[in-house]
Amino acid sequence: MTELLSDSAADEAVRTLSGWHREAETIVRTVELPSFPAAIEVVDRVAELAEAADHHPDIDIRWRTLTFRLSTHYLGGLTERDFALARQIDALLAAT
């Protein structure tokens, strides 16, 4: 069963990620792509990952800059589901 992480566990977990930081009960990563189409392609691939995980980030799209924000909405905080998807996004971005 998915459970909320403690404050210290969340802080420790975010340090294991690439380029994410904590903002209250969310984790956030901003990345710039070479072009708007490249950014949209990343959004599309993240959407596939999110659907497969049944866990979805908030995505802010501003030209070539994407900001991903993760939190487990139904529990109102951070859970392992957020970090699992964040790791998948990191792997996707590392290969882009």
Residues 51-80 that bind ligand H2B (CB under 6 A): 54-56, 71-74
Q: What is the dihedral of CA 62, 86, 58, 19, to 10 degrees?
A: -40
Q: Are 87 and 17 in contact (CB under 8 A)?
A: yes
Number of residues forming the site for ligand H2B (CB under 6 A): 7
Enumerate residues 6+ apart whose C-beta is below 8 A from 52.
Answer: none
Site for ligand H2B in 26-55 (CB under 6 A): 54-55
Q: What element of type H or E holds 13?
A: helix 7-14
Least spacing, CB of residue 71 vs ligand H2B, in Å: 6
Report, in Å, the least distance between residue 66 CB and ligand H2B.
16
The residues binding ligand H2B (CB under 6 A) are 54-56, 71-74
